Amino acid sequence: MDFPPLAWQGVVVLVVFGVSLLIATYSTYAERVIAAFLQDRVGPDRAGPFGLLQPLADAVKLFTKEEFFPAGANRALFVFGPCLAMITALMSSAVIPFGNVLQFGDTAIHLQGIEINVGMLYVFGMVSLGVYGIMIGGWASNNKFSLLGAIRAASQNISYEIAMGLALIAVLMMSGSLSLREITFQQASDAPFVWQDIFNWNVMKQPLGFIIFIVCAFAETNRTPFDLPECETELIGGYHTEYSSMKMGLYLFAEYINVFVASAVMSVLYFGGFNFPFQSELRDWLVSSQSLELVTASNIITIVGLLGLFAKIFSFIFFFMWVRWTLPRFRYDQLMRLGWTILIPLAIFNILLTGGLITFGIIK
Amino acid sequence: MSSLFLFLSFVALLSALGVVLAKNPVHSVLFLILTFFTLSGHYLLLNAQFLAAVNIIVYAGAIMVLFLFVIMFLNLNEETEPHKPALAKFAAAIAGGSLLLILVAAMRDIQPEGYNATSFDSQIGMVDKLGLVLFQQYALPFELASILLLVAMVGSVMLGKREVGERNF
């Protein structure tokens, strides 16, 4: 049977979906192991070898728990909230270019869900929609603590979106394109100078923008030190106080998927995406010394690049968890002050700086 | 394409009706968000990807969050909703009816021209085309609008600044 080319793209979409879920599942395990490591504990080690089956045990626990609806809750929206959180989290990984092209005869498989020329705006839009799941769930719970958590989430997300958008504008000024694939290709380098590859990554040209972006990514994904919407000491559990069983699980899951997507976006925008140092040298060496065909060599480069991108993503996920178990939580007024009076002016300064540097031809 | 258009229009009209008819204001806001999504779908059908994405980011992502924010704080619901006086209902019906009349009168004379498939520029809604038009034909209004937004942002930062001697704890 002939397999039409569009069907391959469908397979890629399904694989991206599955990988997002798998990484979110094992993020829960990684979070516990890293927390245990940082706090000098043992961590989960009962279910399976090294506790690797722990996420499975957690899923069984969450599925079999009692489904609880608080009195006076808006039942439809109470169920809709966690679903929405999950949908928006899963939608954003669609445009991330996980790898270059795999060429098999006539079929070329792009390792990317969909390629659209406004990819960055798509991610940004999905991130800005992510807050609805939290807001609706928090409001529908008919609980003052949940409502306060929802309100905090909304104002926090809106405040940090501005700084995030301004940090992105500086990247856009250099790339001249909104397509994530195009931005990745621009960070590749064919120069013979050995470390030129790394210097072509956007983080080298936009160090300030990257710092602003990563701080905003912490705030947008509601991770410590900015997890004020679910601050236990003040709000019990914040927006998911009233949630139990798998609805609670969906909220936690959506958070980990958001962390994965934020890590992927940072790797693509600032850390070269699927490019890795010496990639053109490696390809040339494969072709000349190992006498491989150019197509096969390119496929090998694509696969190594894919693994490289996932290595970058995993280091960012580790960084998220490292920070969570190291830094204490901000106070809410400190959070707002950081967003509005430090990050936004810094981001505007970064735009001016980038503009100046581009005008004088120092970076391009 | 036509069936997609019909589906989007159907959902758009239905959710727009939902905005008006829903008893619960939070439901109204959610219906309005759905309406914005269907409008973005229409923009996509018209080959305007940038407009579709920005519509989602600005309207569905930011402005509607603020709407929902305020409505959640007010905690309006059916039990506490005050009955509006008959005069207000009457005035609203008149105003809405005349708006409908004006819209129908304006739309009545429209002659759909169609487009020439050979000379049609399929890239017309893309970001770079839009940027060229904005920075060549409409450079001054565009810059003025951006200054307005920047001033609003700086103003909000100034409002949030700590005053002399103020303590938050």
CA separation for the pair A137, A251 (Å, rounded)? 10
Q: Is A35 exposed, middle or buried (0-12, 13-18, 19+ CB in 10 A)?
A: middle
Greater confidence (B38 vs A43) lies with B38
Is-contact A155 A337, C-beta < 8 A? no
pLDDT of residue A225: 83
CA separation for the pair A314, A26 (Å, rounded)? 11
Residues of chain B contacting residue A124, judged by C-beta atoms under 8 Å apart = 53, 57
Q: How far is A136 from chain B (nearest CA, A)?
A: 9
Question: Does the beta-carbon distance from A162 to B72 stay under 8 Å?
Answer: no
Q: In the numeric block, which tokens belong to residue A361?
A: 């031809």
pLDDT of residue B14: 93
- pLDDT band per the 50, 70, 90 thresholds, residue A196: low
pLDDT of residue A236: 77
Nearest CA in chain A to B27: A77
Half-sphere exposure of B16 (CA within 13 A, CB side): 10
pLDDT of residue A304: 84
Q: Among partner residues B26, B49, B157, which is closest to A341 by beta-carbon distance? A: B157
CA separation for the pair A240, A139 (Å, rounded)? 10
| Residue to substitute from B58, B69, B132, interface A, most A β-carbons within 10 A | B69
Question: Does the beta-carbon distance from B127 to A118 stay under 8 Å?
Answer: yes
3-state SS of B5-66 is HHHHHHHHHHHHHHHHHCCCHHHHHHHHHHHHHHHHHHHHHCCCHHHHHHHHHHHHHHHHHH
Q: DSSP assignment of A14-61, as one string? A: HHHHHHHHHHHHHHHHHHHHHHHHHTT---S-SSSGGGTTHHHHHHHH
Give per-residue pLDDT as tens, A246-277.
888 888 888 899 999 999 999 888 888 887 77
Residues of chain A contacting residue B158, judged by C-beta atoms under 8 Å apart = none
CA separation for the pair A134, A252 (Å, rounded)? 11
pLDDT of residue A188: 76
Give per-residue pLDDT as tens, B91-104.
989 999 999 999 99
Cα-Cα-Cα-Cα dihedral sign, residues A129, A130, A136, A139: negative
Q: Is the pLDDT of residue B161 over 80?
A: no
Half-sphere exposure of A276 (CA within 13 A, CB side): 20
Is-contact B135 A318, C-beta < 8 A? no
CA separation for the pair A320, A323 (Å, rounded)? 5
Nearest CA in chain B to A342: B157
CA separation for the pair B37, B27 (Å, rounded)? 15
Is-contact A211 A243, C-beta < 8 A? no
Q: How far is A234 from chain B (nearest CA, A)?
A: 15
Secondary structure (3-state) at A120: helix
Nearest CA in chain A to B154: A345
The highest-confidence range among A99-108, A177-186, B113-122, by mean pLDDT, is A177-186
